């Protein structure tokens, strides 16, 4: 595997389900990010991790819970989601401290909440 990978690529869940999104970067980067992309809207930054430590929570509802066990892996745990949470969820990584390098993105997880 190369670059940034995300699984699953597609996810359909009910509002009462609990699921997790996984991201893995194979670039040796130190910073990782979660973004939300809704149709016709700019990418919205959700969370930022530097060397496994969360440095940013961009006013994200608590039904989204990130986890970063090491610099290569990032998870987004989902529970009690709403239909308006349906979107493309993108993971990105960058070299050095958050913001110091170019961000490289994974292919995204297309989430549909019924």
User: What are the residues binding other proteins (CB under 8 A)?
Assistant: 4, 6, 40-43, 45, 48, 56, 58, 88, 90, 92, 97-100, 102-108, 110
Q: Dig out the tokens for 14 from the structure.
A: 């009910």
Coil vs helix vs strand at 83 = helix
Coil vs helix vs strand at 84 = helix
Contact between residue 49 and residue 32 where contact means Cβ atoms under 8 Å apart: yes
In terms of CB distance, is 42 or 69 closer to other proteins? 42
* Smallest distance, other proteins to C-beta of residue 75, A: 17
In terms of CB distance, is 80 or 88 closer to other proteins? 88
* Smallest distance, other proteins to C-beta of residue 45, A: 6
Beta bridge partners of 91: 34
Alpha-carbon distance 114 to 111, whole Å?
A: 10
In terms of CB distance, is 60 or 80 closer to other proteins? 60
């Amino acid at each position: 595997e190369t670059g940034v990978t995300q699984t699953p690529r597609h996810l359909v869940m009910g509002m009462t389900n609990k699921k997790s999104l996984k991201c893995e970067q194979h670039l040796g980067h130190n910073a990782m990010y979660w973004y939300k992309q809704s149709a016709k809207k700019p990418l919205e930054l959700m969370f930022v991790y530097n060397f496994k430590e969360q440095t940013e929570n961009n006013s994200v509802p608590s039904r989204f819970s990130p986890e970063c066990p090491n610099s290569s892996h990032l998870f987004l745990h989902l529970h009690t989601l709403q239909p308006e949470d349906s979107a493309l969820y993108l993971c990105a990584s960058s070299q050095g401290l958050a913001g110091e390098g170019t961000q490289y993105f994974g292919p995204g997880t297309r989430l549909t909440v019924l």
